[in-house]
Amino acid sequence: MLTDDAAMPAYKAGCFGVRAQTDVVTQAYAAVPGVCAATADLVVNAERARAEGRQRPGGPARELALYLAHGLDHLAGADDDTPARRRAMRRRETAWLDADPAAWKGIAPR
């Protein structure tokens, strides 16, 4: 789901009990045997991607792709709760984006 600065703090509060601005919120839901498979929510702040992307190489499209990669990295089990883990996540996410720039160049927040 794409959202904006106004709505993002409510999503973060709903998932983590902390009302704060952020770029992406991920929430995984375990499978219920015999009922449903595991699912997840990925809420991305497109307004933040546009604003931050204007100041960074690659522009808003790359920034939005980075937020998507970051959310997927969290869903895969990565955590950024220490500086070292944060750097490791960013290196991995950047490598994903650099591996196939054509994959993200077609997306752009309005």
Residue 109 clears pLDDT 90, i.e. is over it: no
Give 3-state DSSP helix, strand, coil % of the chain, rounded to 5. 50, 15, 35
Instruction: Give the model confidence (pLDDT) of 61-97 as tens digits.
Output: 999 999 999 999 999 999 999 999 999 999 999 999 9
pLDDT-derived band at 100 (thresholds 50, 70, 90) equals: confident
> Which CATH class for the 2-105 domain?
alpha beta
Q: What is the pTM of this model?
A: 0.86
pLDDT-derived band at 107 (thresholds 50, 70, 90) equals: low
Structure tokens at 35: 């009922």
Q: What is the DSSP string of 26-69?
A: EEEE--BTTTB--EEEEEEEHHHHHHHHTTSTTHHHHHHHHHHH
